[in-house]
Amino acid sequence: MQLALAPMEGLVDEIHRDVLTRVGGVDWCVTEFIRVNGQLLPAHVFRRLAPELADGSVTRAGTPLRVQLLGSDPESLAENAAFACRLGAPVIDLNFGCPAKTVNQSRGGAVLLKEPELLHRILLAVRASVPAHIPVTAKMRLGYENTDNALDCAKALAEGGAAQLVVHARTKTDGYNPPAHWEWVARIQDVVAVPVYANGEIWNVADWQRCRAICGARNYMLGRGLVAMPDLAAQIHAAAAGREIVPLTWCEVLPMVRDFWQQQRSRYPSRFAPGRLKQWLVWLARNYPEAAALFAAARTVADCEVLDRLLGIEDAHQAQNAKGIETG
């Protein structure tokens, strides 16, 4: 069984990938999508969204990273995929699942599920453009407004050369509203000869167990569930192996939040960093009341030094220094 970390535009960047993959249990992860619009993108665009390219295309924990492209022009996607491989991408992933209105209006993401023949041409072009040893994978939803094309789209992608498919088990119209229709993952696996990953509405081990029972998937992609419960992948691996599940406590999660925040402060201007911290606290609040309380205190705060104090970073540093003195 493999568990992958899904990209989340505007939140799961290289910093979040770093923090979450160090918890353990994530077998591979994907960049935020790199939008391709008819031209060869410069190297700095790839390196900005995938700085791990400079470090063997793995996170600090050693978790492999895939470079995800989004677009609708086969030739342009192929050209950019080949360039990404020259920059060090070990796998090219293609996004046919993004439901964002602005993305779909520019013929990207889930809107292409209306055109299975175009999906096939894109996969053929990208597969032909990259070295044979580099896999091309794809993520799809069940359709745009309905599931009428779901099986045709899956076959188009697989027959075009996709080595794996991640299926977000909802349509674009469904958005992120529950439920996820996991039974469709099984239907898709029946018509393609490549591994299919189940994605959508896996928030905890019980959800994973239900998903597995319904669709029989062997592999899964975790998105919001892993952001809200940083050790979800580790818990699922433990459950699959019959080991005792020992969830992380807030005292164990808080140092991750501090690490995330300090990296965000060094990476982004002070006017942007607080927003990313608050986004993560909102997700963590699903499972940790302490995160909800922290978000309530931080909600209107824009001053980074005040946020430092709310996170107890100065206290943590003082405690660490005191410990060093005691043991020195």
Q: Which residues are catalytic?
A: 98
The one-letter code for the residue type at 168 is: H
| Distance between CA atoms of residues 131 and 94, nearest Å | 16
| CB of 29 closer than 8 Å to CB of 21 | yes
The values of phi and psi at residue 78, to 5°, are -65, -45
Query: Which stretch of DSSP H or E encloses residue 140?
Result: strand 136-141
| CB of 169 closer than 8 Å to CB of 156 | no
Would you call the peptide bond into 269 cis, given omega within 30 degrees of 0 as the criterion? no
> Of 313, 280, 281, 309, which is closest to residue 295 (Cα–Cα)?
281
| Other beta carbons within 10 Å of 57 | 19
